[in-house]
Amino acid sequence: MVVELLGVRLIAPVFGTGFHVWASLISVALFALAVGYFVGGRLADRFPRPAPFFGVLVAAGLGVLLIPLYASALIPTFESAGLRLGALLAATVTFLPPLFLLGLATPYAIRISAETVAGVGSVAGRLYAISTCGSVAGTLLTGFLLAPVLEIDAVLRATGSVVVLPGVLGLAVFRRWGLGAAAVLLLLLPTPSGRALPAGTPVFSVDTPYQRIDIVDRDGERWMYLDGCVHTHMNLDVTPRTEWGYIPLFQFLPDFRPEARTLLAIGIGGGALFSLVEAEEYEITAVEIDPVVVEVAREQFGTMDQVKMVEIGDGRPFVRRTARRFDLVVLDVVGADLMPDHLITVEFFRELYAVMNQDAVVALNAIGAREGRSLASLYRTLEAVFENVDGFATNPGGEITNVIFYASDGPLDLSWVFESEADDLRLRFPGGQVLRDALNPFNFWNAPWSRMIRANRAKRY
């Protein structure tokens, strides 16, 4: 379970974190364990002695221990195979060998623990119960304690060590000193990560439970990468600092409601939005699921000075429980190529509507194919809740684009200052369907474009 959880984080910089990645990892894990159980059972019958069992433990632990040595260099080689097939191939080549070795251990343990055929059922039940409880403990320990404070490589190294050490002790008991000494030597050798860093001068790097964050300085700007894709880059010495990508399209928001006083921002990234509206006297509430992102925005980009209230957590639970009401809402939750499914459904927009003041405006950043079903369906979904919806593209003539959707029950009329710009960037969205909690294929529809989105960003930045 630890390998599966961390495997998603290792694959994410190349293939994202969508269902295709989880399906690939889970399928590979189940297949590897199944083959391991089968082969382990045959080996246990042929060599029913403790020493080979402890050798299996050593091999399995070393397999996990060595994952960081090759994973980050190996996984990108499958990018050309496409999003789904590439993720499946990367998961297979990277994680099948260590998971197969882990699968060998269980039938071996049952075989050498069962004294009689009559007791095999009890032994098997006991060992599978212990194994499952260990998986639960490892999953919780990794997700709640280790992953938030340690690098992925360090957690994998610790996990491999936990498996190797009992094997080494067992080999020592049965006087297999040579094998035990070799395992300890391999355990102590450094296993440098093959992780490639973004170009530039490194400023800050960390793995969080949600994503890999890299901050680098390059070309006079500070760049923020999330899971290997550029998310924010800002010139910290020049005002305005946000003349790139989709951020300037949020400038329509104050123009729609000059009288607005309260703003809710769900998802902050590097905080570029706040530098855009720093001249406005808004009472800002920011909601961000990853506390490290808040730290980065504050300490590395200096964009949080005017944000007085920061809520750490998921945006939807916050919207459900808050008693506050807002004049403006900004949803900037798109990752490199995926959007959180639960934050783009008609049910969520109805919940959001309930915390908005009369004629309040919501601005939502999305990315997808300009003429595809995903953006059109997002437009239809907003239209099912709000009377007026409009959308403006950063790349209106391109195949894929960021779009800032605006939605409100009140009019969405821009002043003459922005009329010409808005006309050039406005898109129409025919077709589409309302996205619901029970059926939301947005990221599935976007999947064919995800590889292009990542490739374009890598080439551009």
- pLDDT, one tens digit per residue, over 44-53 is 888 888 888 8
Per the model's pLDDT, the better-predicted residue between 377 and 120 turns out to be: 377
196 within domain boundaries = no
What domain count does the chain have? 2
Task: Dump pLDDT digits (tens) for 244-258.
Answer: 568 888 989 999 999
Write the burial class of residue 416 (CB in 10 Å: 0-12 exposed, 13-18 middle, 19+ buried). exposed
Q: Which range is most confident: 117-121, 194-198, 394-398? A: 394-398
If pLDDT is split at 50, 70 and 90, which confidence band does 189 have?
Answer: low
What is the pLDDT confidence band of residue 336, given thresholds at 50, 70 and 90?
low
Model confidence over 297-316: pLDDT tens digits?
Answer: 999 999 998 898 999 999 99
Mean pLDDT of 291-295: 93
**Is residue 427 within 8 Å of 391, Cβ to Cβ?**
yes
210, 183: one domain = no
Query: Do residues 212 and 161 share a domain?
Result: no
Determine the pLDDT at residue 193: 53
Q: Give dist(CA 311, CA 182) in Å, integer.
A: 50
Task: Tell me, yes or no, whether 118 and 227 share the same domain.
Answer: no
Which tens digit of pLDDT belongs to each residue from 190-212?
Answer: 555 555 667 788 898 888 878 88
Do residue 298 and residue 421 come from a single domain?
yes
Residue ranges of alpha helices (H) inside 16-49 are 19-46
Domain that holds residue 132: 2-188
pLDDT, one tens digit per residue, over 225-274 is: 887 777 888 887 765 454 456 888 898 999 999 999 999 999 998 898 99
Domain final position from 143, 159, 188: 188
Q: What is the mean pLDDT of residues 371-389?
A: 94
Do 319 and 222 belong together in one domain? Answer: yes
Q: Are both 113 and 252 inside the same structural domain?
A: no
Residue 194 resides in a domain: no
Q: How far apart, in whole angstroms, are the C-alpha atoms of residue 275 and residue 242?
A: 7
Whether the model clears a pTM of 0.85, i.e. scores above it, the answer is: no
Instruction: Looking at the structure, tell me whether residues 210 and 127 fall in a common domain.
Output: no
Q: Which two tokens stand for residue 451?
A: 């590889």
Nearest to 123 by CA among 135, 138, 106, 136: 106
Same domain for 117 and 146? yes
User: Taking 80 as the threshold, does the pLDDT of residue 349 lie above it?
Assistant: yes
**How do 283-288 and 229-234 pair as beta strands?**
unpaired
Per-residue burial over 138-176, b if 16 or more Cβ lie within 10 Å, else e, is beeebeeebbbebbbbebbbbbbbebbbebbebbeebeb
DSSP character at residue 198: P
Contact, 260 vs 327, CB < 8 A?
A: yes
Q: What is the mean pLDDT of residues 27-44?
A: 91
Is 264 part of a structural domain of the chain? yes
Same domain? For 241 and 117 the reply is no
pLDDT digits (tens, 9 = 90+) for 407-451: 999 999 999 888 888 899 999 898 899 999 989 888 888 877 666
Task: Answer yes or no: do 182 and 231 share one domain.
Answer: no
Average pLDDT over the chain, rounded to whole?
A: 84
**Within this chain, do residues 369 and 222 fall inside the same structural domain, yes or no?**
yes
DSSP 281: -
Q: Which of 151-155, 170-174, 293-297, 327-331 has the lowest mean pLDDT?
A: 170-174
pLDDT of residue 393: 92
In a domain, 412, yes or no: yes
Whether 197 is covered by a domain: the verdict is no
The CATH number given to whatever domain includes residue 314 is 3.40.50.150
pLDDT at 209: 77
- Does residue 173 share a domain with residue 254? no
Whether 343 shows a pLDDT value over 60: the answer reads yes
In this predicted structure, what is the pLDDT of residue 457?
A: 52
**What are the C-alpha distances in Å from 140 to residues 1, 144, 236?**
10, 6, 39
* CA triple 265-271-274, angle to 5 deg: 70
